[in-house]
Amino acid sequence: MGSTDLHGNLFNWDYYLNREFDDYAHNDVGLAKISTLVNDVRSAVGRHRTLLLDAGDTIQGTPLAYYYAKVEPITRGAHVHPMAAAMNAIGYNAAALGNHEFNYGLAVLRTFERQLDFPLLAANALDVGTGLPAFPPYVVKTLWRTGGAPLRVGVLGLTNPGIAVWDRAHVDGVLTFPGLVEQALHWVPEIRRKSDLVIVVAHSGADLSSSLGDQVPFPENCAELLAETVPGIDAILVGHAHVEIPSRFVTNKVTGRPVLLTEPLYWGKRLSVMEFDLRHDEHWELAGARSSVLSSASVREDPRIVRLLRHDHERVVSYVNARVGTCASAMSAARSRFEDTPALRFINHVQALEVAKSTSLPVLSLCAPFNRAAAIPAGEVSIRDVAGLYIFDNTLVGVRMTAGQVRDLLEESARYFRQVPAGPVAAADVSADVPDYNFDIAYGLTAPLTYDIDISRPVGSRIADLRFGGVEVPDSFEFAVAVNNYRQAGGGDFPHIAAAPVLHNQQQEIRQLLIDWVKAAGVLDPATFAGADWRLVAGGEPVVVSTNE
């Protein structure tokens, strides 16, 4: 059995909306529901015939994850991380490291590792000093068949090489992250000699792709390539890509044998179940394999997990519902992908204010519409209201860039849209296959940075009428640009920004800066942030995008 990309989801709860989680497909989330699915499988086939694995990204992604990393951090030694406590109670056997395990630094990660009753695996996270794996590369678990020979299952863990870019501040000079295929070629033969069945747990998407460009010489997503290239693998539990793969077979080009791949949907929405038919003569042989996914929406939360961790959950609920100020009128991010909104301008304004303290250059800011559902109501404002605008645990960085470089960056951002001749258009018809977090919107602090995105033009020539304070600026004109650490580290492979000189980096969490601003101001008034500095146009004419949000 396998889960992946749990991202701090313990219970079926939405901390930002303060109610049970629900989405358009009526999925449920959380380890408490995964536990029930696991119990059902173990009851059906016998616990001694099962293993339970996870493919990473466990301790970041919800206010619960943030709380036990930053507010009441597990590094103080007084508390076991709720995700560790739950996974121990459920009885996980091994897990691969995800890239988001590194977001809070190595001290938090190592503390989490010590709290687990099972190994965190990462064959391609190497110690810079020794060149050896800094975490266990694999584990061999022995399953005893009643009245027969023991079955030895080798589990190899692989993480994502993008960690070297995305969390450079935490790992640079400490760890290196070579490619998954390269490390698997080294380790699988050793594991094969010790095992009857070899399963890889890989925090890397199935389809070959990368958002890293040429920043690292290894692909971000390559689980299929792994299956094709490395002989001796029987199955791969896939993670990182946040897509559902109930079952997929890939033929290994060396052996000609099929390799089973599966990826359960993220946040505990699904549990993958891999089944292996084995026969034993002088040794075990794999006769067949299959997989499926089980939906957590079909079961209740395991009451044992609920009882064990209810108080940890309630601490977080109390924290996120604490009042920090008031809002003069409702403010929503629902249309921030298609028009300039006070919600995104508020984020950009706060980012720009901080960077302005470190420079005399004119300041721009960039941010993306992370959460389409984000909305701050009129009246009292809580931590969860503000936090909903910024759901990632990013820190603020200021860099020096020229106007020409900013234009190039905005051209890359404009890839977010499909090329369409005119409006009005539906959101589904104009949105390309680009994540929302890779659509950066620009803002000028002391003067507006105005520009059009002309979606009738091809990619690379869409930014029109770029002006600062109403005046065209030469390409050599310099700005200080406020961005998050993910973008500054090269996330999304945007041009120029990773190489730009750093002007400001005080490890300030952007979400906390927003919360602190509201606390200090007392009142958040969307009218203060009203404006239309950028427009979506086609042939110079404004485009209206219709949405169901």
Residue 378 sits at φ, ψ, to 5 deg, of -70, 145
**Whole-angstrom distance, CA of residue 438 vs CA of residue 491:** 9
| DSSP state, residue 267 | G
In this structure, what is the dihedral angle of CA atoms 240, 241, 246, 247, given to the nearest 10 degrees?
-90
> Any idea which residue has 């997989």 for tokens?
291
Q: What is the biggest distance separating any 2 CA atoms in the chain, rounded to whole angstroms?
A: 83
Give the H/E segment covering residue 235: strand 235-238
Residue 472: count other Cβ atoms within 10 Å of its Cβ.
10
pLDDT-derived band at 169 (thresholds 50, 70, 90) equals confident
Mean pLDDT, rounded, of the chain = 95
Q: Which of 270, 260, 130 is nearest to 202 (CA)?
A: 260
Per residue in 7-24, pLDDT tens? 999 999 999 989 999 998
Counting every residue written for the chain, the total comes to 549
Tokens of 502: 């750093």
Per residue in 348-374, pLDDT tens? 999 999 999 999 999 999 999 999 989
Q: What is the pairing mode between strands 235-238 and 197-202?
A: parallel
What percent of the chain clears pLDDT 90, i.e. is strictly above it?
A: 89
Give the H/E segment covering residue 350: helix 342-356
DSSP per residue, 12-64:
SEETTTTEE---TT----SHHHHHHHHHHHHHHH-GGG---EE-S--S-SSHH
Per residue in 28-70, pLDDT tens? 999 999 999 999 999 999 999 999 999 999 999 999 999 999 9
Start-end of H helices in 67-179: 82-90, 106-115, 163-166, 168-171
Per residue in 95-143, pLDDT tens? 999 999 999 999 999 999 999 999 999 999 999 999 999 999 999 999 9
Per residue in 173-210, pLDDT tens? 999 999 999 999 999 999 999 999 999 999 999 999 88
| DSSP state, residue 112 | H
pLDDT at 549 over 70: no
pLDDT-derived band at 147 (thresholds 50, 70, 90) equals low
CA distances from 365 to 181, 450, 499 (A): 38, 13, 17
* Residue 76 CB partners (closer than 8 Å, separation 6+): none
Q: Which of 161, 164, 166 is nearest to 180 (CA)?
A: 161
Rg (Cα) of the chain, in Å, rounded? 24
Instruction: Work out the average pLDDT over 440-451.
Output: 97
Instruction: Work out the average pLDDT over 383-387.
Output: 94
| DSSP state, residue 245 | E
